[in-house]
């Protein structure tokens, strides 16, 4: 009996965004990465196109992070050198791209100057040839002073820069507009703000509407992940049904969110009922990332090299054609 396969008829499509630039386009990357372009729900190849596989980044900081000690064996030797750190992420751990987090710019931490920040980004760009994302310290006032110097120093590289928020989107967007970078638009687990922010950025420059990456603010497994999951599902459904202001690729940091949680960090001695810590942490992160993938994420940021490996393997499997 031939079953009549159920395919949704969508009229919309997620926009494609190119990350990085090669020499031909004024950059120094060895290749670019294209994300988005879906005309189907995640990995349902039978009903539409999934032209670009989701990509996975690792994170490099401009200061020594206070990460779980189990990560020392992977990154401990490069914590002090963003260039070497980035290189290790790409060469040894297989990151598709690098996210530089300029945590050290935080006035309450190392208070790195805008010039220091630009130099860090340059150093990473020189050390690796993959596309690079850059996000600020999380302190909006300070971050607004670093976007321009970074955007200018890396002009032509087609960075992904963030984050733009509803209350503070102009500085980073202008820096991206002027130097042809891509902007991350972050909304606080709120699809309405997500859409409005995209509209506001597109109003600043229509050309920017194809240079936006949505950060819906993802939560970790066990800590509200189901909200992120549903928001991403709704946004992606909206995009496929023709809502252009939600039709941008999505981004989320599974590593950062997971490793903030007790379940990833607490030792087996302290919590014998939960099993061995490192594998638990890896799986807390990988399971978080798996759920993001199933709800439509296009760019994942990970932390533990093992979690990255497992998730890349999962993406390989999911990208296999399943049309009938």
Partner 1 sequence: MGLTGLEIYKHLPKTNCKECGSPTCLAFAMALASGKASLEDCPYVSDEAKEALDSAAAPPIKLVSVGTGDHVVKLGEETEIFRHDKRFFHPTGVAVIISDTEDVAAKAEKFDDLEFDRVGMHYVTDMVAVKCDSGDAGKFKEAVETVAGITQKAMILMTEDPGVMEGALEAVADRKPLVCAATGDNFEKMTELAKGKECPMVVKGNDINDLAELVEKVVGLGHKELVIDSGARETSQVLADLTQFRRLAVRKKFRSFGYPAFAITTKDDPKEEIVQAGVYVSKYADVVALKACEKQQLLPLLSWRQNLYTDPQKPIAVEAGLYDVGEPGDDAPVYVTTNFSLTYFIVEGEVESSRIPSRILSVDTGGVSVLTAYADNKFSAETIAEAIKKCGLEDKVNHKKLVLPGHVAVLKGTLEEESGWEVMVGPREASGITKYAKDNFAGGVK
Partner 2 sequence: MIIIGERINGMFKDIARAINDRDPGPVHEWAKKQEYNGAHYLDINVGPSSTEPVEAMKWLVEVTQEASDLPLALDSTKYDAIEAGLKLCKQPAMINSVPAEMPKMERVFAMAAEHGAEVIGLAMNEEGIPKDADMRVGLAAELVATADAFGIAPDMLYIDPLVLPCNVAQDHGPEVMRTLREIKMISDPAPKTTVGLSNISQGTKNRELINRTFAVMAMANGLDSAIADACDDELMAAVASARIILDMDIYCDSFVEVFKQRNR
245 within 8 A of 198, measured Cβ to Cβ:
yes
Give the residue with the Cβ less far from partner 2, 192 or 324: 192
Candidates 31-39, 74-82, 188-196, 294-302 — which segment interacts with partner 2 by CB under 8 A? Answer: 188-196
Give the residue with the Cβ less far from partner 1, 251 or 284: 284
Torsion sign (Cα): 107, 109, 111, 115? negative
CA 122/CA 144 separation, integer angstroms: 19
192 touches partner 2 (CB under 8 A): yes
Give the residue with the Cβ less far from partner 1, 126 or 226: 226
Please work out the total of residues on this chain that contact partner 1, with binding judged by CB under 8 A: 57
198 within 8 A of 183, measured Cβ to Cβ:
no
81 touches partner 2 (CB under 8 A): no
Q: x-or-dash pattern for partner 1, window 186-215, by CB under 8 A?
A: --xx--------------------------
Candidates 89-97, 241-249, 285-293, 303-311 — which segment interacts with partner 2 by CB under 8 A? Answer: 241-249
| Helix (H/G/I), strand (E/B), else coil: 319 | coil
Q: Which two tokens stand for residue 263?
A: 């379940």
User: In Å, how far from its chain's centre is CA 65?
Assistant: 19
| Helix (H/G/I), strand (E/B), else coil: 85 | helix
Contacts of 244 (CB under 8 A, 6+ apart): 12, 209
Candidates 20-28, 123-131, 150-158, 226-234 — which segment interacts with partner 1 by CB under 8 A? Answer: 226-234
Give the residue with the Cβ less far from partner 2, 94 or 242: 242
The CA-atom distances, in angstroms, between 154 and each of 100, 143, 176, 199, 212 are: 13, 16, 10, 26, 18
249 within 8 A of 14, measured Cβ to Cβ:
yes
Question: At CA 81, angle to CA 58 and CA 91, rounded to 5?
Answer: 45
108 touches partner 1 (CB under 8 A): yes
Main-chain phi, psi angles of 215, to 5 degrees: -110, 100
30 touches partner 1 (CB under 8 A): no
Q: How far is the CB of 47 from partner 1 (least distance, A)?
A: 9
Torsion sign (Cα): 254, 259, 262, 264? positive
204 touches partner 2 (CB under 8 A): no
**How is residue 314 annotated by DSSP?**
H
234 touches partner 2 (CB under 8 A): yes
Which of 21, 60, 175, 219 contacts partner 1 by CB under 8 A? 219
Candidates 73-81, 116-124, 149-157, 244-252 — which segment interacts with partner 2 by CB under 8 A? Answer: 244-252
Give me the torsion for CA of 255, 260, 261, 266, rounded to 10°.
100
62 touches partner 1 (CB under 8 A): no
242 touches partner 2 (CB under 8 A): yes
List interacting residues with partner 2 (CB under 8 A).
Answer: 191-193, 195-196, 199, 234-235, 238, 242-246
List interacting residues with partner 1 (CB under 8 A).
Answer: 1-6, 43-46, 108, 138, 188-189, 219, 221-227, 229-230, 233-234, 237, 260, 263, 273-277, 279-280, 282-284, 286-287, 290-291, 294, 306, 310-311, 313-314, 317-324
């Amino acid at each position: 009996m031939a079953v009549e396969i159920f395919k949704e008829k969508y009229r919309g499509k997620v926009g494609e965004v190119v990350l990085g630039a090669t020499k031909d386009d004024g950059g120094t990357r060895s290749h670019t990465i294209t994300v988005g372009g879906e005309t189907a729900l995640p990995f349902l190849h039978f009903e539409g196109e999934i032209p670009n596989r989701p990509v996975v980044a690792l994170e490099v900081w401009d200061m020594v992070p206070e990460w779980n000690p189990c990560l020392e064996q992977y990154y401990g030797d490069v914590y002090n050198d963003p260039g070497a750190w980035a290189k290790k992420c790409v060469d040894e751990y297989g990151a598709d791209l690098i996210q530089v987090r300029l945590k050290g710019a935080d006035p309450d931490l190392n208070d790195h100057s805008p010039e220091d920040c630009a130099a860090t980004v340059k150093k990473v760009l020189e050390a690796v040839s993959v596309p690079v994302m850059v996000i600020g310290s999380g302190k909006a006032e300070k971050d607004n002073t670093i976007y321009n110097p970074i955007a200018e120093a890396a002009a032509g590289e087609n960075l992904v820069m963030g984050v733009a928020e509803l209350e503070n989107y102009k500085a980073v967007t202008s820096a991206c507009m002027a130097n042809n970078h891509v902007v991350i638009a972050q909304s606080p687990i709120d699809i309405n703000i997500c859409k409005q922010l995209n509209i506001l950025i597109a109003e600043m420059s229509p050309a920017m509407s194809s240079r936006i990456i949505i950060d819906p603010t993802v939560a970790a497994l066990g800590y509200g992940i189901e909200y992120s999951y549903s928001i991403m599902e709704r946004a992606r459904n909206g995009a496929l049904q023709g809502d252009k202001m939600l039709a941008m690729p999505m981004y989320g940091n599974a590593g950062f969110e997971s490793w903030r949680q007790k379940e990833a960090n607490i030792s087996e001695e302290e919590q014998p009922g939960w099993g061995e810590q490192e594998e638990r942490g890896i799986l807390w992160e990988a399971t978080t990332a798996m759920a993001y993938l199933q709800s439509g994420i296009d760019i994942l940021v990970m932390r533990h090299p093992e979690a990255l490996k497992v998730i890349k393997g999962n993406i390989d499997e999911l990208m296999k054609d399943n049309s009938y």
